[in-house]
Amino acid sequence: MHNISFIGVASGWGAQVRETEKGPDAFHNAEFLSSCSYPCVWKETLYPLKSAQEITLPSGLLTLPYIEDICGRLASSVEEVLNKGHFPAVIGGDHSMAVGTWASVARHYKAFEKFGLIWIDAHMDAHTMETTPSKAFHGMPLAALLGYGEAPLVELLEKSPVLNPQHICLIGVRSYEEGEDKLLKQLGVRIYFMKEVQERGFQVVLQEALEIVKKGTIGFGLSIDLDGFDPEDAPGVGTPESDGLRVQDVLPTLSQIQRDSSFKALEIVEYNPDRDKDGKTLCLMRNLFLHLLPLVGDKA
């Protein structure tokens, strides 16, 4: 079994609704780690320079210094975890932190443009400042990782782009805008819209997705935005969208990743405890970890 280090990223600065900044503490306080049989440690929770409880900022460029700062510290923390040979499990927070996670993982494995990523999400998260209607940075991390957007994020660890479009795919998309759709299409990114997932089944889609992220790469990761799931299963998210992935279709299939030695890091983001109902979203997070935390070592 692999040693697993959890990192919480308690920032909601990338979102319009900022309560996801409470997600990591709420998850940590629910004591998943002490009840789970995996060799897990809670490494740390990273907090932004100021929280949304302390100051008010409109979405957009004024939030960028806070996001850049926390992405930078997250990248260092992920690097420390990987240097110890541990598996990083990152908990958000809004999805803009993905820039820190995956830039760091790619750097560690010397895998810039050679690292695969499955992005489970209701949205595309592939806007730039030029195309975003909301100006919220959690709608932009995938574009930044592909080399498009604001320099502090695109060049977080100096080397850019982090990801190559041919090695990534999105699953569960059902809410997006023209600009981001155009960018991803132009780059040839494979998008499994929710309609296709419903028609072909999650199992078939995941099989294909794994082929995409493993072919020609040094390893792959999984970025799960909880809003990829149906609000019935995950009401406690920043930006809920109806008609999403269902837990009973996803969990049994996902667990094959647990035994895959190419699986290098996991992040689960956008948990908003204030909006959770009957602990459903918390329960889903626990189940995702139980089905995904790796059962093999890094040496393979």
In the complex, the residues that contact Mn ion under the rule CB under 5 A are 95, 121, 125, 225
In the annotation, is 127 catalytic?
no
Measured between alpha carbons, how far is 238 from 123 in angstroms, rounded to an integer? 12
Q: Is 233 a catalytic residue?
A: no
243 catalytic? Reply is no
User: Would you tell me how many other CB atoms lie within 10 Å of the CB of residue 51?
Assistant: 16
**Active-site annotation holder among 68, 94, 113, 125:** 125
Does residue 95 carry a catalytic annotation? Answer: yes
Report the C-alpha gap between 11 and 93 in whole angstroms: 5
Nearer to Mn ion, 120 or 292 (CB): 120
CA distance 92 to 107: 21
The DSSP call for residue 243 is S
Report the residue number, 43 or 239, with the smaller CB distance to Mn ion: 239
Closer residue to Mn ion, CB minimum distance, 121 or 230: 121
Is 86 marked active-site? no
Burial class (CB in 10 A: 0-12, 13-18, 19+), 116: buried
Whichever of 180 and 225 has its CB closer to Mn ion, that residue is 225
Minimum distance, C-beta of residue 216 to Mn ion, in the bound complex (Å): 25
Catalytic residue among 19, 68, 227, 241, which?
227
Catalytic residue among 2, 108, 127, 138: 138
Kindly state the smallest distance separating residue 239's Cβ from Mn ion, in Å.
Answer: 8
CB 221 within 8 A of CB 114: no
Pick 82 or 173: Cβ nearer Mn ion:
173
The question of whether 2 is a catalytic residue gets the answer no
From the list 94, 180, 225, 267, the catalytic residue is: 225
Known catalytic residue at 181: no
**Identity of residue 300:** A
Among 108, 123, 127, 167, which one carries the catalytic annotation?
123
Smallest gap from residue 154 Cβ to Mn ion (A): 18
| Gap between the Cα atoms of 99 and 145, Å rounded | 6
Q: Decide the pairing of beta strands 263-269 and 219-225.
A: parallel
CB of 172 to Mn ion, least distance (A): 10
Between CA 291 and CA 293 the distance in angstroms is: 6
Handedness of CA 142, 88, 264, 287 (dihedral sign): negative
Instruction: Compute the least distance from the CB of residue 178 to Mn ion, in Å.
Output: 18
Would you say 43 and 81 are in contact if contact means Cβ atoms under 8 Å apart? yes
Q: Is the bond into 24 cis (omega within 30 degrees of 0)?
A: no
Q: Kindly tell me which of 143 and 282 has the beta carbon lying closer to Mn ion.
A: 143
Shortest distance in whole angstroms from residue 298 CB to Mn ion: 27
| Residue of 121, 180, 233, 241 with catalytic role | 121
Hey, what amino acid is at 255? S
* Residue 69 annotated to the active site: no
Can you spell out the DSSP letters for 64-102? HHHHHHHHHHHHHHHHHHHHTTPEEEEEESSGGGHHHHH
Residues annotated as catalytic (active site), given as ranges: 95, 121, 123, 125, 138, 225, 227, 270
